[in-house]
Amino acid sequence: MPTRVELFCFCVFVCSVSADYWSERDAIIAKEQTRSVGGHLRLTDREEKVNKILMRYKYKELDDGLVHPKNFLAGQHFFNAKKEIERSKVFNLIKKLPKGASLHSHDMGLVSFECLYNLTYKDNLYVCTNDGPYRLQFFGDKVDKDCDWQLVSTLRQSNSSFDCELKKRLTLVVDDPHVAYSTLNKVWKAFEDIFVAVTGLLGYEPIWREYFYEAMKELYEDNVKYLEFRGILPQVYDTNGKIYDPFEVVGLYYDTLKKFMEDYPDFQGAKFIYTPYRKLDNKTIQDHIVIYEKLKTRYPDFIAGFDLVGQEDAGFPLTSFINELIPMQQNGTPFFFHAGETNWQGATTDLNLLDAVLLDTKRIGHAFALVKHPEIMKMAKHKDIAVEICPISNQVLKLVDDIRNHPGAVLVANDYPVVIAPDDPTFWGAKGLSYDWYIAFMGMASRDDDLRLLKQLAENSIKYSATTTSEKNDMFQHWQEDWNRFLDEVLKEENIINCKCNSIRCQPN
């Protein structure tokens, strides 16, 4: 039998080894936490107090999800989870948080579905319900003969099921998305059919102005003070037969922006990224480049840069347009390329990532396939190229089912310059930025990622915007003021809640 001395020495040895093990383990966890987006930030005393409130809510949702996995909202399809998300205390705190800028959305999908659908109650709106996608169009005294156009208001009165059918044609939201959209191509076909339907609705000149104004207003109400959006400059018309050219369409945007900023002086502005379809021939792309260059000359403070849009798997890769794009790069054109919005690896689609980086894109839209390319990842981070992650869009358009498996989680964990963006919130029932921020915070981030992550995401949205240094400084100043007000509001509300719970008179924090 071992002596008492031998037992004592053994215990000391085991305790020492055990302490070394736990110490090393804790050090690795701490190192990982500091490597994530926002992990290097130090919170002020007030921020720490708000963070405790936020994390109490977050841990509650996560712990409930561990016990009842089917109820974990960020692990469900957004269509099924949305109503419960709106009851989430984490979500409602994120709604109050000043989120800086929205940097990735598209001209036809900027507003909430409710806002879009309300536009279908405007006078003189007609619908074509022939085979294929619905088409909506405003007419004056003369109605085109190319279709059996019917007045929407008349159909509403005569057909009780019309409203329901029209709504189905303008949204991707369904009860069982996994059944309705069994493949990526199927959901993209439905997605593109919606754009066919809304082009004539939104392209009516008075609606175009109202729609863009409401888009900025919804962002403003969601505590977003700056917008960068992509657009194809669709045909805008009026009922007198006038068709607006691309320069006049941008002029409508520009005038509406000025009007909005007069009404909301603390809104920080908007910029437009010209984005032709990627499934065009080289001559047509060159024509679009000429339009872009003229737009940039005429509206230098509003036109931010150039991109190509459309389903990447079905469109032409960036290599198809290298001869057109390299001269633009040499002339200093800011690119904001969609790239890697695919589940494929080693195909032309995900290799768009390499060409986007080589062409010095300022940001990459989606970059879903980026984590499969370690060399491109290193290049992108070295060049400080921001990644625009659109979590709800990626789920709805069939790239990922459970957001916890989103590759963007790897980028967040490794402190890549990422921003969270909404893409086309209209068509999946979202609004502003808060839904995507909630999904990212609860589903893509680590359990212990906290207020520092949200703060860094807001700062990133300003840092990687297509604004001048002076504009950025002004935006940061205004954002900091909003941030301080946000902290005060959360602490005040928490104090009131505590008062009610304790039924005593509380002292302010």
Half-sphere exposure of 13 (CA within 13 A, CB side): 6
User: How far is Cα 136 from Cα 93, in angstroms, rounded to an integer?
Assistant: 38
Write out pLDDT tens, residues 223-280. 999 999 999 998 899 988 899 999 999 999 999 999 999 999 999 999 999 999 999 9
User: How far is Cα 130 from Cα 48, in angstroms, rounded to an integer?
Assistant: 59
**Dihedral angle, C-alpha 277, 282, 287, 292, nearest 10 °:** 60
The separation between the first and the last C-alpha atoms of the chain, rounded to the nearest angstrom, is 63
Residue 33 has a pLDDT of 85
Q: Domains, the chain, ranges and CATH?
A: 95-274+390-471 (3.20.20.140)
366 is an active site residue: yes
- pLDDT, averaged across the chain: 94
C-beta separation of 99 from 222 below 8 A:
yes
User: Where would I find the H helices in 385-450?
Assistant: 391-396, 408-413, 434-439
C-beta separation of 375 from 346 below 8 A:
no
- Token pair recorded at residue 153: 């208001």
pLDDT, average across residues 392-400: 98
505, 427, 421: which is closest to 168 by C-alpha? 427
Greatest Cα pair distance in the chain: 107
Residue 10 has a pLDDT of 47
The single residue of 106, 366, 406, 478 carrying the catalytic annotation is 366
Band (pLDDT 50/70/90 cuts) for residue 1 is low
User: How far is Cα 501 from Cα 86, in angstroms, rounded to an integer?
Assistant: 23
At 64 the three-state DSSP class reads helix
Question: DSSP string of 196-218?
Answer: HHHHHHHTBHHHHHHHHHHHHHH
Name the region of 389 (left: φ>0; alpha: ψ -120 to 50; beta: rest).
beta
Residue 212 has a pLDDT of 98
Name the region of 491 (left: φ>0; alpha: ψ -120 to 50; beta: rest).
alpha
- Token pair recorded at residue 413: 């964990």
Band (pLDDT 50/70/90 cuts) for residue 8 is low
> Going by DSSP bridges, is the β-strand pair 125-128/303-306 parallel, antiparallel, or unpaired?
unpaired
Strand arrangement, sheet containing 338-339 = 338-339, 363-366, 386-389, 418-420
Torsion angles phi and psi, residue 348, rounded to 5? -60, -30
Name the amino acid, one letter, at 267: F
Write out pLDDT tens, residues 115-134. 999 999 999 999 999 878 99
Name the amino acid, one letter, at 122: K
Q: How many residues does this entry show for the chain?
A: 509
107, 119, 112: which is closest to 82 by C-alpha? 112
C-beta separation of 429 from 79 below 8 A:
yes
The single residue of 341, 373, 388, 406 carrying the catalytic annotation is 341
Torsion angles phi and psi, residue 309, rounded to 5? -130, 160
The H-or-E segment that residue 273 falls in is strand 270-274
Task: Please say if the pLDDT value at position 13 is more than 70.
Answer: no
Q: What is the chain's Cα-based Rg?
A: 25
CA 475 to chain centre: 19
Write out pLDDT tens, residues 431-457. 999 999 999 999 999 999 999 999 999
User: How far is Cα 479 from Cα 315, in angstroms, rounded to an integer?
Assistant: 39
339, 367, 365, 364: which is closest to 352 by C-alpha? 339
C-beta separation of 38 from 453 below 8 A:
yes
Task: Please say if the pLDDT value at position 507 is more than 70.
Answer: no
Torsion angles phi and psi, residue 409, rounded to 5? -60, -35
192 is an active site residue: no
User: How far is Cα 395 from Cα 439, in angstroms, rounded to an integer?
Assistant: 11
Name the amino acid, one letter, at 197: A
The H-or-E segment that residue 363 falls in is strand 363-366
At 389 the three-state DSSP class reads strand
Name the amino acid, one letter, at 33: Q
Q: Which residue has the higher pLDDT, 329 or 507?
A: 329
C-beta separation of 40 from 404 below 8 A:
no
Q: Which residue has the higher pLDDT, 191 or 9?
A: 191
User: How far is Cα 80 from Cα 138, in angstroms, rounded to an integer?
Assistant: 34
Query: Which residues does residue 365 pair with via DSSP β-bridges, in sequence order?
Result: 338, 388
